[in-house]
Structure formats: structure tokens, C-alpha cells
Amino acid sequence: MAFIYNEPSRTFNEYLLIPNLTTKDCIPENVSLKTPIVKYKKGQKSPLEINLPFASAIMQAVSDSNMAIALARSGGISFIYGSQSIEKQAEMVRKVKKYKAGFVASDSNLKPDDTLKKVLELKQKTGHSTIVITEDGSPNGRLIGLVTSRDYRVSRMPMDTKIKEFMTPFSSLIYSKEGISLKEANDMIWEHKLNVLPIIDNNQNLMYMVFRKDYDSHKENPNELLDKNKRLITGAGINSRDYKERVPALVDAGVDIVCIDSSDGYSEWQGETIKYVKHEFNDTVKVGAGNVVDKEGFLYLVEAGADFIKVGIGGGSICITREQKGIGRGQATSVIEVAKARDEYYEKTGIYVPICSDGGIVHDYHMTLALAMGANFIMLGRYFSRFDESPGRKLKVGGNFVKEYWGEGSNRARNWQRYDHGGESTKMEFEEGVDSYVPYAGKLKDNLDITVSKIKSTMCNCGVKNIEELHKKSRLTLVSATSIIEGGAHDVITKESDFSS
């Protein structure tokens, strides 16, 4: 007879935190959200920590190089999606590692023989008023000139006027050579009253642009996540099929950590993948594994050598694995059991293996609950997909702006490797995810700052100043269906209500 758990598996919605004594020094400014994301021995420090406990999901609709840059600048980490060619994924990693705060790769480029019409079309598409003119129109081509809104007058110039006739030519530009520091670049911008300073190499090829407006932006990111060479830190997703080709390419591109992306990580395929990465790179490459929902799955992957474990099956907002296959577990119960297994393993071996809660987050307070239940950090898909920095298109649907958001198990993504069970099949037999929209929410940093404020405030209510204390001192209570209703606005008519309806 099958083994049956008597207790139901529970979601974050079914729990609330009980306040502890808030001491006078327990204020948001004193709360640290720094957290380890790879294993370490007792008495030592984790080789890789993040400054905010957030990771963006390994999804086409969420984690590309733009998201990785934006999130690392805020203090979290992205795992660039692996359901693309090895070459393209490695190039995304390379783009993140090459990024320098304040040094921007140009993404608005045209050729000298292009026309004013092309300038206006590109400006409309990107929203950028400064357009770089290179010999071949590429981001790193030979710099020929710049075009800004001061170089043309739409009312007096034909649309077919060639750019070379009205651009500011290279001979009239103030520029600098590669190797200049950000401080030196900003000093030049202020000294010469520039809006932008091109950075070129010895062959006049464009390397970066430094904008006056980015100076303040650099000062606004104190949590920036950097490696020892002051480059942004990024992760990447891998699968258990082509890892022998993919991992070396990612390592060569400079990736800081990889994570096996699978809906169910409790498999020999993952065990073999972890062992290969650890053996081939002599334990220098950090690898996360998952997903699992119980003690057995956790121990299997840890004993195979995993550096962190991802927890959760079927809890994502676009995931239909539970509907399609009948496997999974409530996210809260999964995190609680795996965290307990993690702590027991630490007591037994002296090795602490961080866990990542992946899925089940609907409200910001769910993030604090996941951390209180034992998660070291949280992986988020829907949350990050709503922002400007995600790859999905921004559309207007029914009078409201939305962004596209699709699951890796959807027909659109067709990431069959994520749901692979071995054998000769190289296709998806059925969907385990949906294609959808999410409400557009604006810039990542603006939203993340609010979320962080909520988490820190709640931690102060719990009388703790870091995530480790939150694990040890949190008190949680189950809630009834009626207490959930009680917790929201009730028995009043809110001012936003439409009285005419």
C-alpha cells in the first residue's frame, strides 16, 4: 500500500507570523538581508553570498542579461535561462560580466548612410535620444559620429536625408580611451558640460558610453553584487542533457554559479550532472540542484555534491504540473520539511547547505514567511517578469499595460529538457506551463525597494536583524479561512469602489 501523509501540505497563505519583542535598536536601517547561497563548513564563511535574498527564475520570460545586470546592481542574483543555444546563453553571461557600472554598451546604433527616418524610428522604438553612428551600424563598430535631437529639425529636413549630412562627426566629439575610470569619465563630463562621453579602443571602435544621468544611478546602488574583480555576479541555468558542453562554455564566459533547472530534481540524471561538474572542475564551479519537496530529495542531491537546493514543485503561477501529473506539494510544507532536513544535516556533518524557495509567492509577505520557515533565499518568476528589465513584451490589453509571461513547460518555451525523464525522446509530450500576461509594474529597482522595506519592517516586528535570527526566533501560526478574511479590508465600502455598479 502507498505511504500516505496524514497532514495536508500547506501554502504560505495559511500562515502568519507572531510578533516578538522589538528592541529599540531593531529598526529597518539596522536589518541586513545578506545571505549565503552555497554550502560552507561550520565556523567558515560561504564562498558566495548575495546582498538581498532574491534570485530571478531560470525562465525565458524572466532572466536574460538585462535582468541579470539590473538585479545584481540591486544586490540579488539572476540565473540566465538555459532553454536557448549554448552560444547565446554564454554570450548573455559574457555581457553581464563585461558590464561596468556607468559604462553602458550602446543599443541604439545606425550607419552614416541611414536616413533621418531611421533615426526617428529607432528613437520611437528605444526611447533613446542619443544614437551612435558606427561604420557598420554595430554596437562595437568604428565610431563615426553621434546624433542627438539637437542635430536635426523634423519640420525642415526631408525624411530621406542621410545621417552623415547632419550628425556630429567624430572629429568634433569629445571622447576617451578604454581604461579610463568611472570617476575620470564623470570628471570629463562635468568639465566639458557633456551629456554623454564615448569610450573607444585604439582602433576607434566604440566600447562603451558614459552618460551624465547615470552618475546618480551609480550612487543609488549600495548593494551592488560584485566579484573580487568588481564585475557583476551572475548565475546560469543548465540541464541534465547537454551539461558536458554547456557548463564549460558558461565557465569560459565567466559565470559565477550554475543551477540545474528541472521540475523534479530527485533523479539520477541530476545526481550524475552534479558529480560531473564537481569532478570536472575540481569543485571550483558551484552548482545548485532541484527541485525537491522533502527530506529524501534534499539528502540525495546534497550527497551528490550540490551547493544549494531549490525547493518547490508545481507552485509557480504559470505551472500546471500538479494539474497535469498530480505531483507536487504545498510550498510552505515543502520549505519547512527541507529546512528541517538541512538543519539536521548541518548538526550531523558540520556542512550547511542553503535552500532556495522556488514558487508559491503571491504577496510580498509570503517572501518573509518563506525566509522565516528556513529558506536562505527566494527564486521569483512572476514577480520579476512584470518589470521593464524582463524579456517579455510590454503590451496594452483592455486599456491596461501588461507584460508577457510564459512557463518553461508551455508550448511557447518548449523547454523539454526541464521535464526530461531520459530515454530517446527530445520533445514535450504535453504542457506543464501556460502562456499568460502579468500587470506591468515599471522599473525593477522601484518595486524591489518597496518589497525590501516590507520585509525589513516585518523582521523588526519579529525582533530580528538578519535572516539567521529570523530562522531561529520566528513564531508562526496557522490561520483559518475566516481569519484570512478578517486580515483584509472588510465590512466597509472602500473609496475606490464604484457605487454605480
Q: 436: which strand partners? A: 405
- Cis bond before residue 400 (omega within 30° of 0): no
> Model confidence at 334, in pLDDT bands (50, 70, 90)?
very high
Residue 182's nearest CA partner among 104, 106, 101, 107 is: 101
365 vs 348: CA distance, rounded Å: 32
Q: Are 354 and 39 in contact (CB under 8 A)?
A: yes
pLDDT at 416 over 50: no
Query: Which pLDDT value is given to residue 195?
Result: 87
364-372 vs 444-461: helix crossing angle, rounded to 10? 50
From the candidates 26, 246, 259, 319, give the one annotated as an active-site residue: 319
Q: Helix axis angle, 243-253 relative to 268-280, nearest 10°?
A: 40
Higher pLDDT, 95 or 427: 95
The string over 140-153, giving b where at least 16 C-beta atoms fall within 10 Å of a residue's C-beta and e elsewhere, is: bbbbbbbbeeebbe
Tell which wins on pLDDT, 370 or 6: 370
Question: Out of 231-235, 374-378, 408-412, 465-469, which region has the weakest mean confidence (pLDDT)?
Answer: 408-412
Residue 408 has a pLDDT of 73
pTM for the full predicted model = 0.79
Query: What cell does 41 get?
Result: 563548513
Q: How confident is the model at residue 229 (pLDDT cuts 50, 70, 90)?
A: confident
Question: Can you list the positions of beta strands (E) in 37-82?
Answer: 40-41, 49-50, 54-56, 77-80
Catalytic: 418? yes
Contact 266, 297 (CB under 8 A): yes
Determine which of 243-247, 407-411, 469-473, 481-485 has the lowest per-residue pLDDT on average.
Answer: 407-411
CA 439 to CA 246: how far, in whole Å?
34
Q: What confidence tier does 492 reach under pLDDT thresholds 50, 70, 90?
A: confident
Mean pLDDT of 421-441: 68
For residue 342, the Cα-to-chain-centroid distance in whole angstroms is 25
pLDDT band, residue 109 (cuts 50/70/90): very high
In whole angstroms, what separates CA 338 from the centre of its chain?
Answer: 23
Which pairing describes strands 196-200 and 176-177: parallel, antiparallel, or unpaired? Answer: parallel
Per-residue pLDDT tens over the stretch 143-184? 999 999 889 998 889 999 999 999 999 999 999 998 888 888
Q: Which tens digit of pLDDT belongs to each residue from 263-299?
A: 899 999 999 999 999 999 999 999 999 999 999 999 9
Q: Dihedral angle at the C-alpha atoms of 480, 482, 486, 491, nearest 10 degrees?
A: 180
Active site residue 356: no
Residue 90 has pLDDT above 80, yes or no: yes
pLDDT at residue 501 in the model: 43
Residue 51 has pLDDT above 60, yes or no: yes
Strands (E), 330-393: 351-352, 355-358, 377-380
